[in-house]
Amino acid sequence: MINFNYEEIDFSLKNEERISNWITNTISEEAYKLEEINYVFCDDKYLHKLNVEFLNHDTLTDIISFDYSVGKLIQGDIFISIERVKENAMDFSVSFEEELHRVIIHGILHYCGYKDKTDSEAKVMREKENHYLKQLG
């Protein structure tokens, strides 16, 4: 099950069912099984508070994910700052929707075992993101 939640912002996904099916298909293609994912779309202030409280990072970020997966069973909470996504879309000269979809699938790829700490890991992550973004269309 995939849940979409909206905290203290005037925003909602345009097509939750389409996005949910895309995420589910991505998990399946990566040979994992979906248990439950909760997306929480919020503002910078909300996400910054989580970043400080749980990760001891006093910085703004676009996404924080809490992974509760066990083996190949995917479950977790993914928090996304809509403000950061908007700013990043401008910085990277892409549409807001494309950047939002990239961040949405980025969290899932982390749950599927992909990392992005090194240059080589980040390259693989970006290739996977692009692969799945094409599937969404």
- For residue 25, the enclosing domain spans 2-136
CATH code of the domain in which 131 resides:
3.40.390.30
Confirm whether residue 77 is marked as ligand binding: no
Confirm whether residue 101 is marked as ligand binding: no
Contact 65/79 with Cβ under 8 angstroms? yes
Q: What is the pLDDT of residues 33-67, one digit of tens each?
A: 999 999 999 999 998 998 888 877 887 888 989 99
Q: In sequence order, which residues have a C-beta less than 8 Å from that of residue 21 and are 6 or more positions away?
A: none
Confirm whether residue 116 is marked as ligand binding: yes
pLDDT of residue 58: 84
Token pair recorded at residue 93: 């000269």
How many structural domains are present in the chain? 1
Cα gap 21→41, rounded to integer Å: 18
Q: What is the pLDDT of residues 97-133, one digit of tens each?
A: 999 999 999 999 999 999 988 999 999 999 999 999 9
Contact 73/79 with Cβ under 8 angstroms? no
Cα gap 51→64, rounded to integer Å: 7
